[in-house]
Amino acid sequence: FKQPESTHLGDCPICMMPLPIYLDKTTMMNCCCKLICNGCSHAYDLRRVGALKNCPFCREIAPSTDEEIYKQRMKRIEATDPVALTHEGMQQCKKDDYCSAFEYFTKAAELG
């Protein structure tokens, strides 16, 4: 068995292995909008010391409430991060706000 060269999602920025095709096997960090594999996320959780959980990529303290997660995502959207725009589009689809979702997806596609 041979690992694929890469996937459409790219590589995990920590272990440099191709990210799984299924998004449920990845974790998106809200602070930096990086997708990391669940293996790296789990390994980091096992190694961390203390009550605060930090991002394994940028080391920023992870948000503890939904409001903090929303603020971090909006901060990344203001910085025109295509991953954050796509994620917000998915959140709008879950709320059945398809017009807003289309706008977020369109802007993310324009940015690449």
Residue with the larger pLDDT of the pair 66 and 6: 66
Q: How far apart are CA 65 and CA 96, in angstroms?
A: 23
Q: Residue 14: count other Cβ atoms within 10 Å of its Cβ.
A: 16
Q: How far apart are CA 29 and CA 76, in angstroms?
A: 11
Q: What is the pLDDT of residues 72-108, one digit of tens each?
A: 889 999 999 998 899 899 989 999 999 999 999 999 9
User: pLDDT at position 3, please?
Assistant: 65
pTM score: 0.71
Q: How far apart are CA 47 and CA 53, in angstroms?
A: 11
Q: Which residues contact 86 (CB under 8 A, 6 or more apart)?
A: 104, 105, 108
User: pLDDT at position 4, please?
Assistant: 67
User: pLDDT at position 100, please?
Assistant: 93
User: pLDDT at position 45, please?
Assistant: 83
Q: How far apart are CA 91 and CA 5, in angstroms?
A: 30
Q: How far apart are CA 62 and CA 73, in angstroms?
A: 12
Which backbone phi and psi does 43 adopt, to 5 degrees? -60, -40
User: pLDDT at position 20, please?
Assistant: 87
Q: Are 110 and 103 in contact (CB under 8 A)?
A: no
Q: What is the pLDDT of residues 6-65, one digit of tens each?
A: 778 889 999 999 998 888 899 888 888 888 999 998 888 888 766 677 888 888 888 888
User: pLDDT at position 85, please?
Assistant: 92
